[in-house]
Amino acid sequence: MSHKLAVSTALAAALALGALSDAEAAEKRVKKEKCYGISPAGQNDCSNLAGTHSCAGQSTVDNDPGEWRLVTKGLCKSQGGYTRKEAREIIKQLKSAK
């Protein structure tokens, strides 16, 4: 490998890493919120309100009001989701209807 090629490759790699770091930093600055009731089965972000599991990807039904995903702050309602308080109320109503 010629010296010029090695330097060019190293420079390209450094620039690519810088671009990734900028993208990661921008993503971290975006405010997020938990949005309940929008997760497809197996695609929740973490534990549910019922306490039946404590890990991501363990939801068993689509759009369970007790399951949540992180979304950009302010977009939950437009995706048909609920706040934690609203989700708890829905779950309470579903339990009392049984």
3-state secondary structure of 17: helix
Cα separation, 43 vs 40, whole angstroms: 5
If you count them, how many residues does the chain have? 98
Write out the E strands in 3-83.
32-36, 68-72
Q: Which residues, in sequence order, are bridge partners of residue 70? A: 34
CA atoms within 13 A on the CB side of 67: 21
pTM over 0.75: no
All residues at 6 or more sequence positions from 26 whose CB lies less than 8 Å from its CB, including other chains: none
40-87 tens-digit pLDDT = 999 999 999 999 999 999 999 999 999 999 999 999 999 999 999 999
